[in-house]
Structure 1
């Protein structure tokens, strides 16, 4: 038996296989409650998968096949399809293809030969799809991580020579390094004279977080700017006192608004109301 038989069958029954494989993926996807896929997505997956199978079994496919699989895998990752759904779907598709092609086989020997033939050509394709999925998923996660890190500690200019760094979420050692890096680079870039670190969105300020803030304040001072710590809620203030943390070298304000007023005073400016 030649792989041309599998190719011929896939070409002859293309629309039928595509429809039935779409139903297989849809049924599997519906069992996963966190899958937010619509019919168009399932149809797209199976349409491109069928094209991939036909391309891979054709002559001269090797040159651009890997690139096609990469594109296919990236699209699956971007759709939010889980590895579990993909792996189960490919397994079910292979079983379904065997059942369809085995209907007209008269002997056990022919059936075994068909299993071998399908596995010989489908398994490497599926393995490559799963491999490229893993690579695409890892790349996507890394890009998201980088983007989140960049967003996690932005330095925002609000007035000339006055910048604000709003912090949201927990601060660990890795993030503290990013905060310090963005802070120092931003102070130089924006020629800041006063930097406000807003911890309104930081849920817990412990000894380690306070230590990082003191370090950041000292680093800002060394590059010629002054640091204000704002957004100290009453419960945070109580925690700082209870832990015996010394923030005497850091100017503190309980709100960002008061911090900006102080920063304006430190740069010999103030906000005035215009008479009507």
Structure 2
């Protein structure tokens, strides 16, 4: 009976897919499906349908291979696990509606097909959720490693002056790593002035500001001065709105101005040399 169902879906796939897509678009609360280009939407829908069919008609090994590939794809596309499970249920409903429309199901075999659907969709949902979760955990782990690599080294730019560029969102774990690298770098490079460049930090909220203030306090304890550079207008507005106190900081809008002030603090300046 599984093979009969798989043959039916294959035969009517060109009708099932558009109907299924309409259901998905209507139920796409996060917008993860509608935001795809039409060609990508059609391709992803067909791959999803082929995955569903593989579980009906092919070997377990073939199904596992398709499952892992598809899980990686939907994670990259940003589909939530809730949307994926809704898509599975919508596919089964669309197939069942088509079977009724084509009078494929009779009174004699309706109970058998209900059992086939239950044995097909339930395990399918569980395996997709498991594969999705595994792929998502691996993706998050790789992202954390990448962020740790970006979390910054203290870069000496002049004698006694070092810069730490910060990129991406700063959470408690990253803040701890930044603090460690910062203090080790200050001692290693014998820096007297440290510039924390937040040009690449998308949002500065109360928590991020708290981490930055903690870092600055730690730098002062080892005998250096900390400057905050790269403050964009929208970041400045957020800091003022939140009432964050940065009075103990020297702040500048750009790294260039920060370097000029750092040189002044160490009794130097940049001069143009005439040819």
Quick check: 1:87 aligned with 2:85?
Answer: yes
Tell me, in whole angstroms, the C-alpha distance in 2 between the residues paired with 1:208 and 1:186.
17
Using the size of structure 1 for normalisation, the TM-score is 0.71
| Residue 197, structure 1, aligned to residue 174, structure 2 | no
Contact 2:194–2:225 at 8 Å: present in 1 too?
Answer: yes
Structure 1 gaps, min length 5: 242-246
Does 1:128 pair with 2:127?
yes
8 Å CA contact retained: 1:28, 1:89: no
How far did 1:88 drift?
A: 1.8
In structure 1, the residue matched to 2:136 is 137
Per the alignment, do residues 14 and 125 of structure 1 end up closer, same or farther by CA in structure 2, a change over 3 Å counting?
A: same
Cα contact 1:169–1:203 (8 A) shared by 2:
no
Between 1:163-172 and 1:122-131, the stretch displaced more is 163-172
TM-score of the pair, normalised by structure 2:
0.71
Residues 216 and 170 of structure 1: CA distance in aligned 2, closer, same or farther (over 3 Å): farther
Unaligned runs of 5+ residues in structure 2 are none
Matched, 1:25 2:28: no
- Give the Cα separation in 2 of the matches to 1:67 and 1:20: 27
Q: For 1:44-65, what per-residue CA distance to the aligned partner results, in whole angstroms no more than 9, with x for missing partners?
A: 2221022213322234x21242
Q: Structure 1 residues 32, 188: CA separation in 2 closer, same or farther (over 3 Å shift)? A: same
1:163 aligned partner: 162
How far the C-alpha of 1:169 sits from its partner, in A, is 9.4
Whichever of the two has the greater Rg, that structure is 1
Q: Contact 2:2–2:57 (CA<8 Å) still a contact in 1?
A: no
Contact 2:195–2:258 (CA<8 Å) still a contact in 1?
Answer: no
Which of 111-120 and 133-142 deviates more?
A: 133-142
- Bigger drift between 42-51 and 161-170 goes to 161-170
Please give the alpha-carbon distance, in whole angstroms, between the structure 2 residues aligned to 1:140 and 1:171.
18
CA RMSD after TM alignment: 4.1
Question: What are the residue-to-residue correspondences of 1:31-42 with 2, within 5 Å?
Answer: 32=30, 36-42=35-41
From 101, 105, 129, the counterpart of 2:99: 101
Measure the CA separation in 2 of the matches of 1:133 and 1:54. 18
1:97 CA drift (Å) = 1.4
The count of corresponding residues between Structure 1 and Structure 2 is: 257
2:163–2:197 contact (8 Å) kept in structure 1: no
